[in-house]
Each structure stands twice: as structure tokens, then as C-alpha cells.
Amino acid sequence: MRWILLASLLLVAGCSKPQPPVGKWEGGYDNNGTIVVARVEITASGRVKVSAPDITNLQNAKPEQMAMERSRLAAELVHVWDDVEPREFEFDGKTFRKPGGVAPQMVWDKGSNQMTLQLYIGANPALPVVLRPVDGFHDNPFASG
């Protein structure tokens, strides 16, 4: 009788929906003329706030212009963050997808607590933007603090 109860509990536990990690992540990407700054926050209810302003086609930009664009995007991210609406994602324990969607939107590594945002810009393949966990957001998402 005990093994039936144990098997039933394991079956129920195995069928339960994985809960997304609660926390904050931020980071940026700056390569091949593309700059992205990004923030993700997952609440205790599992709703996700995400924002990732970007600029592309800066392959021929001078270093001063690249620095100016990084600063501008970081300021834009800070400015719009309070207006970002949390939304629902499907989460399988590792990958976040839009409800009913197939394409990964974010991938979470449980061991490192690293989040990788899969950013789709135009018709290009997903651009992985690696985000680090943070206790609080910074004015500069590229900072390592």
C-alpha cells in the first residue's frame, strides 16, 4: 500500500509545472555593429518583465559613436523600465516561450543562474544576449557589479 502512495506522489510531482526562477538579470551585447542592453525580472507569480532596446548597422561607427550609443540605450532602458508590462511565458524548467509558441525567448541555466535572452532582430536568427543575475538593476547593464 505504501508503494502505491509513493508512486502516486511521484507521478503527481513529475506532472507538476516547473516554476520559473524568481529574480533579476541584466546585461548587454556589443558586437558586429549591433548593441543591445537588456533587463529581465521574474516575479514570484511567474510573470516576466523584459526589455531589450537595440541598435544595428553600426559596423563602420567610430568608437566615440559606439560609446554614445551604448550610453543612450542604457539610459533608454532605465527610462522605460517602470512602464514595461509583465507577461506570461511558458516555462519547461529551462526554456521560456511565448504561450503556444515554439521559438525560445529565454534560456535559464539553473547551475549558474544565468539567463540568455534570445533576441530576434528582423529576419535574422536569434541573437543570444547573455544576462547575469543581479540583486538590483544598474544604470549601465554592461557593468559587472
pTM: 0.86
127-131 CB contacts, 8 Å cutoff, 24+ apart: 127/29, 127/34, 127/36, 129/27, 129/28, 129/29, 129/36, 129/38, 129/52, 130/27, 130/29, 131/25, 131/26, 131/27, 131/38, 131/39, 131/40
Per-residue pLDDT tens over the stretch 1-50:
555 544 444 444 556 789 999 999 999 999 999 999 999 999 999 999 99
